[in-house]
Each structure stands twice: as structure tokens, then as C-alpha cells.
Amino acid sequence: MNAIAENQNAPARSQDQPRPERPRGFITPPANISANPNEYLLELEMPGVDKEGIEIMAEGNELTVLGRRKNEMPNAELLYTESALADYRRSFELGPDVDTSRISAEMSQGVLKLHLPKSEKAKPRKIQIAG
């Protein structure tokens, strides 16, 4: 069972208004999701975003990640571009086995790593036969 599903019905824009100098819309950052017996690991690629630019919202079973790019454009003429220079946003639906109160995150070189611990009751347990 996939306990973290992409939330397709999430609203297309965050509650606060996008900054006017940014193009409208968001980039969907590529994600890797894996799991071990204790937690789910969600990795999102958001080059150009530092720790301060990350906003993680967990509401009910919905997890939304927002990455705001730092305005680090050199003071020079743009000759050619492939990056949309927009901010990043992606929403996921969490399964009931994720303990949302213990989610932790780290940001390194444009990759956000979210640790989503499985709740104690969802972890596999070995049952001893008494007697």
C-alpha cells in the first residue's frame, strides 16, 4: 500500500498571494518516496531554495510543501533560460499510519528530505506466544 499519495485535488495556489515579480503558477518538484519499517522518506528536488524558503504544512492527512526561491539572479542580462524561475509546490495525501506530529525535515543543496515516522501501532510487531 502506498501510504503517501499525490493529492491531485489540492488547490492550485497557496492562500497567500504569489509575489508579483514571479511568474504565476508553481513548479512540481520531482519526488522520491521510500520506506523502511520505521518511517517514510520523502525527497523533493528544489534547486535554488534554501532552508528559510521552505514551508511545510500538515493539515489532517494532507501534506503540502512550498519552496520559495531566493531571488539570486545576477545583475546581468538573461540570454537563455530553461528554469521557469517559479517557486515550487507539491501536495501529498498521507496514509493513516503516518505520525504527523513527529515529521522532521532537513534541507541540503536544494534537496528537501522529509522523515515521516510510522505511528507506533502501524509498525510490525512480533507477538510472543505466552506459556
Partner 1 sequence: MKLARRERQHPGVPAPLKELNRIRNEIDRIFEDPFSLLAPSTSFFEGWAPTIDVYEDKDNVIVKAALPGMKKEDIEISLEGSTLTISGERKHEEEKNEGETYRSERYFGRFQRSLTLPTAVDAEKIQASYKDGVLTVSCAKSEESKPKQIQVKG
Residues contributing to the site for partner 1 (CB under 8 A) = 2-4, 6, 28-37, 40-41, 43, 45-50, 70, 72-83, 85, 108-111
**Closest separation in Å from C-beta 41 to partner 1:** 8
**Closest separation in Å from C-beta 66 to partner 1:** 16
SS3 sequence of 92-126: EEECCCECHHHCEEEEECCEEEEEEEECHHHCCCC
Q: Are 94 and 62 in contact (CB under 8 A)?
A: yes
- Residue placing its CB nearer to partner 1 in the complex, 82 or 128: 82
- Residue placing its CB nearer to partner 1 in the complex, 40 or 117: 40
- Residue placing its CB nearer to partner 1 in the complex, 17 or 83: 83
Q: Could you give the CA distance from residue 17 to residue 87 in angstroms, rounded to a whole number?
A: 12
Q: Are 112 and 67 in contact (CB under 8 A)?
A: yes
